[in-house]
Amino acid sequence: MLHKIDKIEEINKLPNDKFLPKENIKTDLENNPFGHYLIDVENDKIIAYLYYSDIYERAEINQIEVKVFNRNCGKATKLLKKMIELVDKNITLEVKKDNIPAINLYKKFNFKEKAMRKGYYQGIDGILMEREQDR
Ligand SMILES: CC(C)(COP(=O)(O)OP(=O)(O)OC[C@H]1O[C@@H](n2cnc3c(N)ncnc32)[C@H](O)[C@@H]1OP(=O)(O)O)[C@@H](O)C(=O)NCCC(=O)NCCS
| Domain residue spans of the chain | 2-131
Q: Is the CB of 108 under 6 A from ligand 1?
A: yes
Task: Provide CATH code, domain 2-131.
Answer: 3.40.630.30
CA atoms of 38 and 54, how far apart (whole Å):
13
Identify the three-state secondary structure at position 17.
coil
Say how many Å lie between the CA of residue 118 and the centre of ligand 1. 23
Q: How far is the CA of 110 from the centre of ligand 1 (A)?
A: 14
Q: Looking at the chain, how many residues does it have?
A: 135
Q: 14: alpha, beta or left, given left = phi > 0 and alpha = psi -120 to 50?
A: beta
Q: Would you write out the chain's pLDDT as a tens digit for each of its 135 residues? A: 999 999 999 999 999 999 999 999 999 999 999 999 999 999 999 999 999 999 999 999 999 999 999 999 999 999 999 999 999 999 999 999 999 999 999 999 999 999 999 998 889 999 999 999 987
Spatial separation of the C-alpha atoms in residues 99 and 64, rounded to whole Å = 12
Ligand 1 proximity of 129 Cβ (cutoff 6 Å) = no
Does the C-beta of 67 come closer than 6 Å to ligand 1? Answer: no
pTM of the complete model: 0.97
